[in-house]
Amino acid sequence: MPETVVHFQIRMPPSLHEQLASWAKEDKVSLNALIVGILDKAGEQHANQPPAKERAVSTS
């Protein structure tokens, strides 16, 4: 775990919270750990994509 921890508050629909909490329970991890993992994976995927401007040009 990093030395510095940033606290971040997020608002979400109750149904999404329930879905994520259920997923975390199934995986036997905390809700926080699940969300951090999801965000980390999304960040990696985003970093591996070309910039949005290049994606728009290549798909037109």
Q: Tell me how far apart the alpha carbons of residues 43 and 10 are, in angstroms, rounded to a whole number.
A: 17
Nearest to 8 by CA among 30, 29, 32, 38: 32
pTM confidence score:
0.73
Domain of 28 in residue numbering reads as 20-47
Q: Tell me how far apart the alpha carbons of residues 30 and 34 are, in angstroms, rounded to a whole number.
A: 6
Q: Are 49 and 55 in contact (CB under 8 A)?
A: yes
pLDDT in tens, the chain (60 residues): 568 989 999 999 999 999 999 999 999 999 999 999 999 999 999 999 887 777 666 555
Q: pLDDT tens across 18-35, in order? A: 999 999 999 999 999 999
The reply to whether 4 falls in a domain is no
The reply to whether 40 falls in a domain is yes
Domain count, the chain: 1
